[in-house]
Amino acid sequence: MASGDGGRVRRAFAVQAGHCERMGSPFTATLCRLLGERLDDRTAIGRRVLGWSGDPELDALPLRLAGGLHALVRRGRLPALAALYPPAPPDPEPLWTALSDAVATAEADLGPWLDGPPQTNEVARSGVLMPGLMAVAAATGGRPVVLWELGASGGLNLRLDRYAYDLGGRAAGEAESPVRLAPAWSGSPPPDAPVRIIERRGVDLNPLDAGLPADRERLTAYVWPDQRERLARIEAALALAAADPPPLDRAAAGDWLALRLAASPLPGTVRVIQHSIALQYFPPAERARIAARLDEAGASATPDAPLARLAYEADPTRAGLPILDLTLWPGGETRRIATADAHGRAVRWRGWDR
């Protein structure tokens, strides 16, 4: 696309506003719609946004700007705008006045948020992944789990056994955990199979450290400000991760996975590779490399050392709505065991045995 396609940029903000409305964030929807309709080239931020040379939707440009604004509000950098953020109801005219002043006066602080894609670590996705691990445990005779996560971000979903769950009436995890997940559930509950993780590790091109204030700020800024439950949940999960950091590596997922799969598995365990709403950000060649390495490793998997892939990703055949697919080796059979939404709010469970 040619540089300066302001119409396409404005459409990207309108599309993002629609997503926010459907996902229960009327404030962020209003903010994106106002920026998309009224931002102009009289400010440096306006010129940069409207002159975006990439694909504004694929680059998540609206969320880059919305995340930067939220971060500055949380810092106390924009008090006039903060007064109009939740719990105040979205009021378009005063909100636009404060937004236009913010983009005019906070260029130096907002600019870095446009430099890279949003980075999230939605903790509620553990409410979809955990029942998947319970299905793995049930299908493999309760073997202890060696858990590896691709696109792990800050590793919050690597710690999923440390959270408390109500999964269709089935309790799981640590009952006293400050992070509690109870997605709206339909279908039978997941199997009553304890999940015991004996080793965990994740990989990301830009892993975030819950012990660093800047990384905590980044992860909380991309949570929509009117979704107070999500904010409280990620803050609780970050506190747990800061006290007991999940092990994370900085690398390309395909290379990292190839090295780990090349090592002999520990007999009596099941290796599980999980990823959630991550593959869409991987180049096609990287996705193919991951699939090839898993197929190669799966060919040598045994009943005593099985291998599993737990993929919670957008499904293009369902207009991008997420699904949870489980593949088990030996055999390499894949079954769709659940459908969900991208924030893990609701799960329709289908299960492995059906």
pLDDT digits (tens, 9 = 90+) for 157-190: 999 999 999 999 999 999 999 999 999 999 999 9
Whole-model pTM: value is 0.92
Cis (ω within 30 of 0) for the bond into 87?
yes
Give the closest residue to 50 by CA, choosing from 103, 97, 106, 108.
103
The Cα 286–Cα 267 span in angstroms is 29
pLDDT at residue number 344? 94
Least confident of 2-6, 279-283, 346-350: 2-6
Confidence of residue 2 (pLDDT cuts 50, 70, 90): very low
The Cα 234–Cα 119 span in angstroms is 13
pLDDT at residue number 4? 54
pLDDT at residue number 318? 75
Q: If you search the block for the tokens 């090295």, which residue do you land on?
A: 259
Write out pLDDT tens, residues 326-338: 999 999 999 999 9
pLDDT at residue number 3? 53
CA angle centred on 41, ends 36 and 44, rounded to 5°? 105
Q: Is the pLDDT of residue 61 over 50?
A: yes
Which DSSP category does 317 fall into? G
